Each structure stands twice: as C-alpha cells, then as structure tokens.
C-alpha cells in the first residue's frame, strides 16, 4: 500500500480517507438483466476512515451500486437503502463522492483485483443449462466492462435512490 494512493474527501462530518487496499473493497450482489429489471448491477462497499476534529477517527464501510443497461450503453449509480456512501452528504459532497468513484476507485489496484477475482470465479462456475451459460457469459462481460469504464461515465452518471421494494 502506498499512502500516496489514498484519497480524501472533506465532508461536514470530517475527512473521509480511502486507501487502495483490497480488504477495503467489498463487491457483492451481482444482478443479471431480467424482464422486470433489464440491467446489470453490482453492489460495491468501500471501507474508509472518518477523521473528525480533535484527532478522533473510526472505520466505516458504506455501499453503492453501479448499474449498466443490458447493452452497456449507460451507467447509473444507485444509493443503497442502508449504509449508503451517498446518504448523509450534501450536493457538493455527493459530487466529490462521484469523483472519488470515477477518478480514483475504479482505477485502484484493489478494485481491479476484486473484479478480476470475480471474473475468474464466474469462469470456473459449474453451469448446467444454456440459460445458465448465458447468465454467466453476460455477467463476465459486465465485469469486464467495469474494468474498462471511464471516469467521465461515473462523474456524469446520475445517482438514483434505491426503491423501497428492491433488495
């Protein structure tokens, strides 16, 4: 780990300090397009340190989702209902968080390693039916697209709140 690879965001609650460390990136909740939800989506958790006045700090992990339509043409960021990376931030802090994701997180070695491990896991999955094969191949393509995503795509993405009925 190189401290120079850290990213800091100033918020009303203190300084959020993010490190390029594999254990700090948690990906889960892969979603494949269905008739009712025609998009790919992954839930990403990022652990960070919140540094407050008088040198007090604590470790936190918050989440968000990266969503792409089924043809990978658009990117949307989705706030999770619980432990959202965006939830208690004002508009400026939310923009800084989008920049964090687009200009730092997706370029970190930690993020790339975690996504590559998921790709390897999907490639070695035992699939039985043609439908399962299509789901796995589509998911692999989505994960590979995540590795190629541009910072501008993230920074320009809208941030949606997760509907109450999902997940």
Which pLDDT tens digit goes with each residue over 30-80? Answer: 999 999 999 999 999 999 999 988 777 889 999 999 999 999 999 999 999
pTM for the predicted model, two decimal places: 0.90
DSSP string, 15-65: EEEE---GGGEEEEEEE---SSS-EEEEEEEEEEEEEEGGGEEEEEEEEEE
Domain coordinates of the chain in residue numbers? Answer: 3-161
């Amino acid at each position: 780990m190189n401290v120079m690879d850290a990213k800091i965001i100033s918020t009303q609650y203190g300084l959020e300090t993010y490190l390029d460390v594999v254990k700090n990136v948690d990906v889960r909740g892969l979603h494949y397009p269905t008739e009712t939800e025609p998009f790919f989506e992954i839930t990403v958790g990022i652990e960070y340190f919140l540094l407050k006045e008088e040198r007090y700090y604590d470790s936190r992990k918050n989440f968000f989702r990266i969503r792409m339509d089924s043809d990978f043409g658009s990117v949307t960021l989705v706030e999770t209902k619980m432990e959202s990376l965006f939830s208690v931030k004002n508009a400026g802090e939310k923009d800084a968080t989008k920049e964090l994701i687009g200009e730092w997180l997706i370029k970190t070695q930690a993020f790339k390693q975690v996504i590559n491990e998921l790709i390897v896991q999907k490639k070695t999955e035992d699939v039985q039916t043609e439908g399962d094969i299509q789901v796995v191949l589509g998911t692999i393509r989505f994960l590979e697209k995540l590795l190629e995503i541009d910072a501008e795509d993230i920074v320009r993405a809208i941030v949606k709140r997760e509907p109450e009925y999902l997940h």
